[in-house]
Amino acid sequence: MEPTCSRQGVEGGIVPHGIDLKSEIRRLCGEKNAVVMAHYYTDGAVQDVADFIGDSLALAQKAATTDADIIVMCGVHFMGETAKILCPQKTVLVPDLQASCSLAESCKADEFAAFIKANPGHTVISYVNTTAAVKALTDVVVTSSNARQIVESFPKDAPLIFGPDKNLGSYINAITGRNMLLWNGSCHVHERFSADSIVALKQQHPTAKVLVHPECQSEVVRLADKVGSTAALLKYCLADDAQVFIVVTESGILHEMQKAAPHKTFIPAPPTDGSCACNECNYMKLITLQKVYDCLRLGRPVVEVDAEVAKKAVRPINRMLEISASHY
């Protein structure tokens, strides 16, 4: 059954009772030449209404090439900023501008600039989970899909700074034999997975394969059968013969996994204490079907990026897209 809703819209207007939000969103997209893009961590209903679902890299690549006039980026704010930087002439909407990211929050531009200044002569590599202002200080942006290839595109002894995710950074250091200087940031969702809880799940499901996002801590990453971005984990579970998977990342990805492989079993890894829904990203979950409808209807909230910042930030993003295009 299609979702119906009579909750208040963003303007305080009551949405008429029984409105079919999904059909209305599709109708508005056609009327306004808008495209809805969603990250795998958003609510399942939001993923189901989207024209395109992807990981951070795929969302940036898709935004860079879309013909639509309006991009509704159903994800966190930095994803909307990246789309706006790549398509300054387009309107980019993020249904809730409060949808931040703990990694982006952990890395303030002035503090990152001081870190760079204190370590002269380093190439600066930033994870896409950063603000536009941090990207503007960066030489090349990476996502979890392409971090390895991009780091390996530099000579082994090149001095590199990597920010803000210390877990992704140490994973890339370990698999590439690099010694990048790491910013001390982490994701509040991925930090909460513990090795003990995964070992306990493995004991209950001995044939299960363990899928881990590289934002997890190294003791969790060590237990993985596959480490990768959301898209890489999805691809792996579809291709692999195993029937049961323990999924150690934000639980929104299970929606697409279960849809794509309904005969397989996906078990979300619990957060450390198992007492709450901490394997959900509370920022991603701010994006509801109601807000997608409201933002399309009202044409806001709009993502804006300062023109000077955008001019500097577009270079490292394009550099990433160029290197990625030669690998994928």
Site of interaction with ligand SF4 (CB under 6 A): 41, 76, 101-103, 129, 187-189, 215, 250, 281, 283-284
Using an 8 Å Cβ cutoff, are 84 and 77 in contact?
no
- Closest distance between ligand SF4 and the C-beta of residue 200, in Å? 23
Using an 8 Å Cβ cutoff, are 123 and 178 in contact?
no
Figure out which of the listed residues 47, 138, 229, 324 binds ligand 13P, where binding follows CB under 6 A. Answer: 229
Own/partner long-range contacts of 261-267 (Cβ < 8 Å, ≥24 apart)? 261/237, 264/237, 266/237, 267/201, 267/205, 267/208
Q: Which is nearer to ligand 13P, 143 or 217 (CB)?
A: 143
DSSP state of 214: T
290 forms part of the interface with ligand 13P (CB under 6 A): no
- 101-140 footprint of ligand 13P as x/- string (CB under 6 A): ----------------------------x-----------
Q: Which is nearer to ligand SF4, 24 or 250 (CB)?
A: 250
Query: 107 is written with which tokens?
Result: 């890395």
- Closest distance between ligand 13P and the C-beta of residue 59, in Å? 8
Nearest CA to 302 among 30, 21, 71? 71
Strands annotated E in 122-279: 123-127, 140-142, 160-163, 181-182, 209-212, 226-227, 244-248, 265-268
Figure out which of the listed residues 24, 43, 55, 96 binds ligand 13P, where binding follows CB under 6 A. Answer: 55
Query: 118 is written with which tokens?
Result: 């204190």
Q: Which is nearer to ligand SF4, 253 or 289 (CB)?
A: 253
Number of helices (H) and strands (E), helices first, in the chain?
15, 14
| Dist CA 16 CA 10 (whole Å) | 14
Residue 42 binds which entry of ligand 13P, ligand SF4, none, CB below 5-8 Å type-dependent: none
- Closest distance between ligand 13P and the C-beta of residue 250, in Å? 6
- Closest distance between ligand SF4 and the C-beta of residue 62, in Å? 18
List % helix, strand, coil for the chain (3-state, nearest 5). 45, 15, 40
- Closest distance between ligand SF4 and the C-beta of residue 281, in Å? 3
Applying CB under 6 A, the residues found at the interface with ligand 13P are 55-56, 129, 143-144, 187, 213, 215, 229-230
